[in-house]
Amino acid sequence: MPIADYDTYCAMIDNAQKNNFAYAAINITSLPTINGTIQAFAEMKTDGIIQVSTGGGEFASGLGVKDAVLGAQALAEYVHLVADQYDVNIALHTDHCMPAKVDSFLKPLIEISKTRVAAGQKPLFNSHMFDGSPLPLEENMDIAVPLLKECSALGIILEVEAGVVGGEEDGHDTSDVAADKLYTTDEDMLYVYKRLSEVENARFMFAATFGNVHGVYKPGNVKLTPTILRDGQAALAKEYGADAGFDFVFHGGSGSSEEEIAETLGYGVIKMNVDTDTQYAFTRPIVDHIFHNYDGVLKVEGEVGNKKAYDPRAYLKLAETGIKNRVIEAIKNLHGEGTTIFGK
């Protein structure tokens, strides 16, 4: 059953830490984006993470509904069905839930998981992200800790963020944030670990920031300092012992160089979000199809066009292959090829 249960998800994360690779966490919005992503995981023989944002959920529910919870549920249910056809483990995750949307997005999804678990099923999602980075750190953790308790009781991992990932994603714009906020300090990391460790036996992931920015920028515009992660891990070990450590998440990874990505893997990054690059990889083949089949896609000057050209399946198949190929590239950059623990 390829949708991971809690023990399998924890084993996936441990496998990444032990072998210095990270999982490609791919944002999806539709069935073709899901199918292309899972195909990439299967071809590369790696486990993987599929994630839904509030905006992605809202889009998936349709323009006439615009219900982020309903859309996220529909996408997740489809992944539960189709992932069973592949021999890799898939974890489902929700991305960047801001404080204002905890009650309207995160908690309803947790309630759905409660119902599923009570019926002997797996949770709908394996992990959720609470992004309290706009808040003062203490207030951020005051919300995160109760959420972690609730998630942990259901076998769900919680991801949190301290510090700010710059740029804009899904309508959340931090492009004007002060530069020092783009870098999480050792003191911040120690405080996050102390607070989240209050929840006994709970598993969590931490999106610390080291200059990363959402979106793709020309070389030189983004100044990454991955050693912040290394120094934070060292501070943690000094304060809490050698067994203490973070499972780090790399946000804003699109456009990063192979060398920058590889460096983070040695500092405890086990998950890297990929969205902007896969959006482009999905759209580019559609544009190519339309440019090369202009008079078939459109009914020009009284002609009837070409049904084979304007049938959505014609270009969505190309788009599915496009995202699959870009996910394969991400897996290779993250050193994830051949790392699945499926069946072990």
d(C-alpha 330, C-alpha 256), whole Å: 11
Residues 6+ apart with CB under 8 A from 32: 282, 316, 317, 319, 320, 323
Cα four-point dihedral sign 319, 324, 328, 333: positive
Residues 6+ apart with CB under 8 A from 95: 25, 27, 51, 52, 53, 56, 129, 170, 273
- Our answer to whether residue 7 is catalytic in this structure is no
What is the C-alpha radius of gyration for the chain, rounded to an integer number of angstroms?
A: 20
Max Cα-Cα span within the chain: 76
d(C-alpha 307, C-alpha 297), whole Å: 8
d(C-alpha 95, C-alpha 58), whole Å: 13
End-to-end CA, the chain:
13
Token match 């920015």: residue? Answer: 213
Beta carbons of 231 and 239 less than 8 angstroms apart: no
Q: Which of 7, 47, 87, 95 is catalytic?
A: 95
Tokens describing residue 47: 């486990």
**AA identity, residue 274:** V
Cα four-point dihedral sign 320, 170, 57, 51: positive
d(C-alpha 218, C-alpha 200), whole Å: 44
d(C-alpha 44, C-alpha 340), whole Å: 9
Token match 């499926």: residue? Answer: 342
Active site residues: 95
